[in-house]
Amino acid sequence: MKFKNKLSAILGASILLLASACESFLDVNENPNNPEDAPISGLMTNSTYETALNVQRAGSATSNYVQYLASPNPSSGSDIMDQLDFSGTWFNLYNVMTDLNEIIRKAEESGANHYLGAGQILMALNLGMTVDLFGDVPFSESFNFETVTPAYDDDQILYDQVISLLDQGIANLQTESAISIGGDDFIFAGDIDSWIKFGYSLKARFLIHTKGSASYDANEVLSAVAAGFSSNADDAQVTFFEQRFNPWAQVAINNENLLLGGWISEQFIEALDGTSYPVADPRLPLMVGTTDDGEFIGVPNGAGRGDAPEQGARSTLIPGQFYTSEQSPILIATFAELKFIEAEAALDSDPGRAYEAYLSGIEAHMDMLGVSEEDKATYLADPSVGVGAGALTLDDIMKEKWVAMFLHPETWNDARRFDYGYKDMTLPANLNPNLNGNFIRRLAYPDSEVSRNGDNVPQVTLLDRIWWDQ
């Protein structure tokens, strides 16, 4: 069930909570051993809303790396994969996890098993995103307020905890609860069946990351898929409000006002306009804007826009499209993503199932965007897309998933697992020389953490890999 509540009162409560929710361990409080209390319903409002924003924030941090976006200016740090400071992203992830820790504690004390289960699923998601971005991170000592210099936990052990949290969350959602979740939940408005499907869909996501490791079990992934989302109607998303725009809409609006951002990578344009692949994708005009001449022209990553003016000569995100309308949803996890996970997991053992899932993933994304039935049928019938079960490859699956996950941070996980093997994806111009001709594999630890907890921060480079990226 989708939750599209636009009541100002609820939004106001959310905004207040943004300012007053429990601080993360990174904050310096007057009394860190006695954080301000907040009701469990208010914490749920804030946590569901801010989790969606964390997905967008992580997507904003990584969309240049996977060449959805490109900077209009040459040698921009995100474009050339420089070492950047993501203190804000780190803070927001931990701020939400601190609130979720309170939800879990309060729910355990009160027998509110549905809040407990939802809190554990959201904790798994935010923790998993943090590990996927940074590797080893503090967790076991992060929320007791007894230390401001928490130890770092091993990223592989934390992944086990992510899966355990999902399993616990699903189990708790299936038991009776002393308190019901309702309008304080911005994702599903208290629909417990949807929360359970969400938990299984996330489990499939995190398990597919481990492909190639000793712990990977394709059948375990497929079991999670079977219990996950069954249509686009199940998607986990937060729809925005008249008083607070979708952040990608704000990027598009800002760009129109010459605060340049949201320029589209040449790689993305050419992958969909018939240049890199034999068929033009009908989704392209529904996802990004054209030039003033009605053409789709991207920007080469790292090289900037050249002699093009600030407006009108290159494709950008524009207001009013699916991803950039003021009240467009932030997609946390989708049925389309799940079908591509199924396709990848089934490819070796059951090519027929993999092919059907691959086609279903494309259709689900096209339906989401509003592609016409005629255009959808034409695209799926093209020999380069409708390749047949016997000819389907991982390249086919990953290319279509890359399109369907536009602006989502999960794509960077896919890109690293796939060793950036997308057709015609090349290193950006003016690449950070410290990468020695290689794509970036992780984010650097933020300056705020180095300054506060430097003795515990691992010494890493941007080429060091997350445990599953081997």
| Cβ contacts of 428 within 8 Å, gap of 6 or more | 79, 80, 81, 300, 301, 302, 303
Tell me the average pLDDT of the chain.
Answer: 93
As given in the structure block, the two tokens for residue 362 are 């494309």
| Cβ contacts of 159 within 8 Å, gap of 6 or more | 128, 131, 206, 209, 210, 467, 468
* Secondary structure letter of residue 316 according to DSSP: B
Q: With 50 as the cut, is the pLDDT of residue 230 above it? A: yes
Residue-wise pLDDT for 44-62, tens only, equals 999 999 999 999 999 999 9
What number of residues does the chain have? 470
Residue-wise pLDDT for 177-221, tens only, equals 999 999 999 999 999 999 999 999 999 999 999 999 999 999 999
User: What is the per-residue pLDDT for 36?
Assistant: 59
Name the pLDDT band for 38 (thresholds 50, 70, 90): confident
Quick check: helix, strand or coil at residue 229? Answer: coil
Report the C-alpha gap between 22 and 106 in whole angstroms. Answer: 13
The CA-based angle 437-442-445, given to 5 degrees, is 120
Query: In whole angstroms, what separates CA 216 from the centre of its chain?
Result: 22
Report the C-alpha gap between 206 and 467 in whole angstroms. Answer: 13
Which of 52, 86, 93, 126 is CA-nearest to residue 440?
Answer: 86
User: What is the per-residue pLDDT for 244?
Assistant: 82
Which of 52, 62, 49 is CA-nearest to residue 407?
Answer: 62
Name the pLDDT band for 372 (thresholds 50, 70, 90): very high
Q: With 60 as the cut, is the pLDDT of residue 22 above it? A: no
Kindly state the greatest CA–CA separation across the chain. Answer: 65
Q: With 80 as the cut, is the pLDDT of residue 12 above it? A: no
Residue, of 283 and 29, whose pLDDT is higher: 283
* Secondary structure letter of residue 333 according to DSSP: E
The answer to whether 455 and 149 have CB atoms below 8 angstroms apart is: yes
Q: With 50 as the cut, is the pLDDT of residue 2 above it? A: no
Name the pLDDT band for 26 (thresholds 50, 70, 90): very low
Cβ atoms within 10 A of the Cβ of 348, count?
A: 10
Report the C-alpha gap between 388 and 329 in whole angstroms. Answer: 33
Sort residue 306 into left (φ over 0), alpha (ψ -120 to 50) or beta. Answer: left
As given in the structure block, the two tokens for residue 342 are 């199924």
Residue, of 31 and 181, whose pLDDT is higher: 181
User: What is the per-residue pLDDT for 8?
Assistant: 34
Q: With 90 as the cut, is the pLDDT of residue 109 above it? A: yes
How far is CA 452 from each of CA 28, 126, 245, 449, 468, rounded to the nearest angstrom? 10, 22, 33, 5, 28
User: What is the per-residue pLDDT for 30?
Assistant: 43
Name the pLDDT band for 145 (thresholds 50, 70, 90): confident
pTM for the model: 0.93
Buried b (16+ CB within 10 A) or exposed e, 110-138: eebbbbbbbbbbbbbbbbbbbbbbbbbbb
Q: With 60 as the cut, is the pLDDT of residue 393 above it? A: yes
Residue, of 26 and 326, whose pLDDT is higher: 326
